[in-house]
Amino acid sequence: MEYLSLAQSLARSAGELILSKMGEGILTEEKSSSFDVVTEVDKESELLIRKGIADHYPDHRFLGEEETYLNGSSLEEIVADAQSKPYVWIVDPIDGTSNFVQGIPGFTVSIALACEGEMLVGVVYDPCADEMFWAVKDQGAFLNGNRIRVSDKEGLNTSVIATGFPSSMEARLAVYGGLGKLIHECRTIRSLGSAARHLAYVGASRLDGFWENGLKAWDVAAGALIVKEAGGQVSDTAGNPYSLEVTDIAASNARIHAPLLDCFK
């Protein structure tokens, strides 16, 4: 599929750019708060991806983390519009910017293509590990060309669950509420610093589940498709089906989804 090939090529090129900038004294700017930062490398990576898409598909729309607010619309308006439009590319140029700034491996490039709100292609690339996770609707999920499947864990007590710590305090407190319940239920909890990476790991059975509050479409669109195509389940934390408008996400191998959601009631 041409869309997949383009997404993979751009993710790899962006990953090479990001790696080339590590250790250079990265400048950061605050966005919504001191917890939410952007670097000049985020912007360079997004521009590279945006230009690559525009060169091939000039009529396609683009929903990227760093330029989303430039037209003056609210995020809710932009995402609602994307839900109904054909061919919208949804991009996080560096998911896990804090990892990148600190020199911690594990940041990713996330690229998805949606048509009227339905995910067609999802690519999550970890340049530090040179791992390309990808999925195409109804064609399965893969890691560097090898088919991946979610885990076969049957209960939370044997499961490894991941979460993250979002930029808004309200969302952080919601995550802490889930943590307070899950620590009594699951084997252990991990936080790797990238929602896209967490979702890709659920698809590859490295994690059994993931939840986080206060996320955006670009954080999870590609990873959500990877989980689904690997046989897993993705919803909001109340159990409603995943859509681009979901901000509080839960993903799992499907077997543990109901008890996972119970922890967020």
Catalytic site includes residue 81: no
Active site residue 97: yes
148 is catalytic: no
Q: Which helix (H) or strand (E) holds 241?
A: none
Q: Which amino acid is at 82?
A: A
Pick the catalytic residue: 95, 208, 236, 248? 95
Known catalytic residue at 262: no
Q: Is 94 an active-site residue?
A: yes
| Selected catalytic residue, list 42, 46, 92, 229 | 92
CB 251 within 8 A of CB 227: yes
Among 219, 229, 236, 248, the one annotated catalytic: 219
Residues 6+ apart with CB under 8 A from 46: 64, 65, 66, 67, 91, 93
Residue type, 7: A
Distance CA 20, CA 165 (A): 27
What is the dihedral sign for C-alpha 42, 92, 200, 253? positive
Instruction: Kindly name the residue from 46, 65, 66, 248 that is annotated as catalytic.
Output: 65
In 5-117, where do the E strands start and end?
A: 28-30, 37-39, 61-64, 88-95, 108-115
Q: How far apart are CA 136 and CA 198, in angstroms?
A: 18
In the set 97, 108, 163, 247, the catalytic residue is: 97
Let me know if 78 is a catalytic residue.
no
Question: Of 78, 94, 161, 249, which residue is the catalytic one?
Answer: 94
What the block records as the tokens of 49 is 């991806």
Q: Which residue is associated with the tokens 């699951």? A: 186
List active site positions: 65, 92, 94-95, 97, 219
